[in-house]
Every structure is written in structure tokens, then in C-alpha cells.
Copies of this chain bind each other. A is one copy, B any other.
Amino acid sequence: MSDDIILLAHGSGGGLSQELIRRAFVSHFDNQILSRLEDASVFAAEGSRLAFTTDSYVVKPLFFPGGDIGRLSVCGTVNDLSMMGATPLYLSAGFILEEGLRLDDLERIVMSMSKAAAEAGVKIICGDTKVVEKKAADGIFINTAGIGFVRDDLHISIVNSRPSDVVLVSGTIGDHGITIMSQREGLQFQSDMTSDAAPLNHLVRDMLGATNQIHTMRDPTRGGLATTLNEIAVSSGVGVEVEEDQIPVLEGVAWACEMLGLDPLYLANEGKLVATVAEADSDRVLAAMRGNVLGARATVIGRITEDHPGRVVIKNSFGAKRILSVLAGDQFPRIC
């Protein structure tokens, strides 16, 4: 019975994850900032606005095309800060190591973190290392927390999307998730699939150079684009309408998804963002995104609507509409 013990699905990023977060965490850590469930928590401190976020990384395998657990652990936290419009500054790094881990693997991971931090222009300024016995962990788990500063004129939030806003996505969807799943299944595809893991803070800087009227930003990690769009619909109390044909998916990713029976809309991304933007500013934001290498394939995928608040509707090329729901099951454990 799912009420009694933790299931893999509790970590999937879908419905059960949200239930667990509300039941076990939000209710007991009762405070306004946490309850907002943003990608990063923003608070005022001595006259400045700061953002604070944390993520643990348990991805399996540790190394994969386009990245490794180290790169992921830096990009993921940089991106969570960036989604609140924060400029990421400092990261912490906590390591849980399994006895027997190869030191050269650890060093390779740490060097990858260092490189990703340099790309993002952040510094890793504090850390911790614990070691547990064989079989008490799986190689290495990494936690990073991050601190950033937020401009006073920004009010980006999961609750701020408004009818008539334009929904933008920064590039192709599903690359990270399908890469990890293929590696794990031991599948070799002809196309070169690689994780999109990348720090998005410079892309966000360019977007915020074009306008401060970005209403919501979120990186569609666990649960994928479909889950993120549902979070926007529910939290902002609006409808979301997207066109399936407009959502960019690499041909190889689409093909691999078909082979594995997966839907790219539910696959994790680690270097993409979704933004809702006031209609008047959306062209400028889109142009700014396309001017950055990480947003070269940015595109409009839909609209925020007054209709069907709390729901995401997807329209296919024949004009048929269906409801796009959140991920329910435990399809993808340890994807990040």
C-alpha cells in the first residue's frame, strides 16, 4: 500500500512526488517561503533579495554522453536559481561516497563540476564528504545547494502566468532523459544522442536583458515538459494550450522514444527552460534566446488561456485536442 512505504514513484517528479512533498515536508516545515514550491526560494536579507535552492543527484550511470553526475549537479542548481531570475553566485557540494569508489572516477567527477562551475561563472565555496560501507550507497551521490541574487524589478514565479502570455521553450525536448534511458538499457542508436546538461544562467541573463516581464520560468527536469506545464496551469490557476507540432524534438530522440515506448514530453531535460512571457514582449525575448547558443532552437509552443484553468491541452497537427496530464507512475528513477 503506497501510504506506508516509499516507492520509486515517489521520486519520479510526478503526482506521487508532489503528494509526498505536501504530506511529509510542506506540512511539517510550515513556512510561507517553502510552501511556494518554486525552483529556488527567494527571500529578503539586509536589503538584498537572495535566492536559495538545493538538489541531490543520484543519476545512474554516473557517466553518460554529454555529461556526468558532476556536471549535472552544478548545472541543475545553477538552473534552479536562474529560473527565479537570480544570478547564481555560490554553490555548496556535499558528497556521499560508497566505500570502494575509484578515486580516479571521483576526480573525473570533481573536475567536471569545476568545469561546469567555470562555464556558469559560479564558485563552489563549501563542501562535505561522507563515506558509507559497500552497498549502503551506489557509487556517489552529490548534493549541491546554491545562492544567487535577484534584481528588485523581477517577479518571476510559478503563480504569475497570466492569460494571453506566450509559452516559450528554449530548445529540443527529451535529450537528457532518452540518453540516460538508452545507456541504462544498453541500447545503441545510430544517432548520437547526448544529454543537454548545461548552465542556463547566461541565456536567462540575455532574456532578462530583453524584458523584465517574464512571468514564469522553470526547467523541465524530472517529469519533463508535460509536468512543468501542468505545474504552471495549477499554480497560476490558468489554462495552458500547446501545439504538439511546435514542440522541438530531435529526430533521433523521437525515434528512440518510439523504440522504447516513451513520450518525450515526459522525459527530463537538464539544459532547457520553459518561460511564459507577456505577449507584447515575447518577440524580443525569443530573439534574445535565439541569440544565445543554448537558445538557438527556441520557439513559441503555445499560450496561456482563461479557459480550462488548471489543465494543459495539447493540439495535434489535425487540430484534435487532448488533455496532457502529469506523470503518474515510476517510469524514470534516477534520471538526475
Could you tell me which A residues sit within 8 Å of B by CB distance?
3-12, 17, 20-21, 23-25, 28-31, 33-34, 40-41, 43, 45-48, 50, 52-58, 89-90, 92-104, 106-107, 110-111, 113-114, 117, 123-133, 135-138, 141, 143, 145, 147, 149, 333-334
Contacts and interface: CB of A to CB of B under 8 A. Distances in A.
Contacts of A138: 132, 136-137
B126 A34 contact: yes
B48 A129 contact: no
A240 to B, nearest CB: 25
Contacts of A101: 5-6
A100 B1 CA distance: 11
A334 B6 contact: no
Contacts of A126: 33-34, 40-41, 52-54, 145
B130 A92 contact: no
10 contacts: A5-B99, A6-B103, A11-B132, A45-B147, A45-B149, A52-B92, A54-B93, A54-B94, A56-B130, A94-B143
A124 B21 CA distance: 13
Contacts of A33: 123, 125-126
Given A29-B117, A54-B93, 15 more contacts: A4-B103, A6-B103, A11-B97, A29-B124, A31-B124, A34-B127, A41-B90, A43-B125, A47-B48, A54-B126, A54-B128, A56-B96, A56-B143, A58-B96, A131-B333
A113 to B, nearest CB: 7
A127 B30 CA distance: 13
A173 B48 CA distance: 40
Contacts of A102: 4-6
A110 B6 contact: no
B111 A28 contact: yes
Q: Which 9 A-B residue pairs are closest in the complex by CB-CB distance?
A: A11-B131, A145-B145, A54-B92, A143-B143, A136-B138, A56-B94, A33-B125, A6-B101, A41-B125
Best-buried of A102, A127, A133 by chain B (most CB within 10 Å): A127
Contact of A50 (B10, B104, B147): B147
B54 A99 contact: no
A256 B57 CA distance: 39
B129 A11 contact: yes
A147 B149 contact: no
Given A29-B124, A126-B41, A8 B94 contact: no
Nearest to A336: B130
B54 A141 contact: no
Contact of A24 (B3, B46, B106, B130): B106
Best-buried of A4, A57, A133, A143 by chain B (most CB within 10 Å): A143
A53 B99 contact: no
